[in-house]
Amino acid sequence: MVASTLTVDPLEAITPEFGDTPGFFQLYTPDDRGIAESFLHRTEVAGFKGIVVTLDTWVAGWRPRDLARSSFPQLRGYCLANYFSDPVFRSRLAKPPEEDPAAAVRLWSELFGARLTWADLPWLRSLTKRPLLLKGTCHPDDVRRAIDGGVDGIYCSTHGSRQANGGIGCLDMLPAVVEAAGKTPVLFDSSVRTGSDVLKALALGATAVGIGRPYAWGLALDGTDGIVHVLRCLLAEADLLMAIDGYSTMADLRSAALMRS
């Protein structure tokens, strides 16, 4: 489970729900190193097993439906629990968020989204000894440079391609990313909607496949039971498709399983 920086509940309330599932923290690095360092310290105390640093989107794209609805939840104070509960963030405010939420939201909007460069990687690496993954790494040259900089995993992702309309499909970039990564694990997501999508990514060399939107749909329709149903459907479809195509184990899946028409 990868939990975002932008959540309704503070990170300390999330880890107890993981059980035996490893929890990773997806860091949207603030433009304030003190707050970023505080976040990572808190994740270590809370028991997160690794850090996923988001690289692939710091500004929302042109999204007419969101614009028509004036939809930007964070500007209304939603999903900012990790900021509002952070001691360093709170120290930057004249009043606590509980007393002046508008000022807290304004400060968040000014700090959200540091424009990271390769020069920031040694600093990020120095903040934790836990596994560090870079999310949004889609070019082989960047993959090699990231590994040389000490990352433990590559996360091939275009953030679901929901920001930059017309961009290259993430799956098309995956084989070159896997080849450049060598023995370094490669996670994959972006527009995964079916069990078939999962198997395609695994066949192309992904170590693991993430989903986002499908379980959100399940949650909206039927709460926890809806999420469980979505996950079971994905797993069942993948299992049946492997059986139909004659693959006994995940290890049997190779790129030869796929044919481009």
Contact status, residue 15 vs residue 46, Cβ threshold 8 Å: yes
List the chain pLDDT tens, one digit each, 261 residues.
999 999 999 999 999 999 999 999 999 999 999 999 999 999 999 999 999 999 987 777 788 888 898 888 999 999 999 999 999 999 999 999 999 999 999 999 999 878 899 999 999 999 999 999 999 999 999 999 999 999 999 999 998 766 677 778 899 999 999 999 999 999 999 999 999 999 999 999 999 999 988 999 999 999 999 999 999 999 999 999 999 999 999 888 888 888 877
CB 59 within 8 A of CB 28: no
Q: How far apart are CA 45 and CA 108, in angstroms?
A: 23
Is 41 a residue of the active site? no
What is the DSSP secondary structure assignment for residue 17, as one 8-state letter? G
CA 127 to chain centre: 19
Task: Quickly list DSSP for 136-169.
Answer: T--SHHHHHHHHHTT-SEEEE--GGG-SSTTPPP
Q: Cα–chain-centroid distance for residue 240?
A: 28
In this structure, are residues 56 and 159 in contact, taking their beta carbons and an 8 Å threshold?
A: yes
- What was the pLDDT predicted at 70? 86
pLDDT 10s digits, 196-244: 999 999 999 999 999 988 999 999 999 999 999 999 999 999 999 999 9
Please name the fold of domain 2-212. TIM Barrel (3.20.20)
**What letters, b where the CB count within 10 A reaches 16 and e where it falls short, cover 189-222?**
bbebeebebbbbbbbbbbeebbbbebbeebeeee
CA pair distance 144, 201, nearest whole angstrom = 20
| Amino acid sitting at position 154 | I
C-alpha radius of gyration, the chain, whole number: 19
The rounded distance, in Å, linking the Cα atoms of 248 and 244 is: 10
Helix segments in the chain, DSSP class H = 11-14, 33-46, 64-69, 81-84, 87-91, 101-111, 121-126, 140-148, 170-181, 195-203, 213-245
Return d(Cα 247, Cα 239) in angstroms, integer.
9
**Sequence ranges of the domains in the chain:** 2-212
Q: What integer pLDDT is reported at residue 25 of this predicted model?
A: 98
Q: Please give the model's pTM, rounded to 2 decimal places.
A: 0.92
> Catalytic pick from 41, 139, 159, 229?
159
pLDDT at residue 161, as a whole number: 62
CA 81, 94, 46 angle in degrees (round to 5)? 30
Residue 51's pLDDT is 98
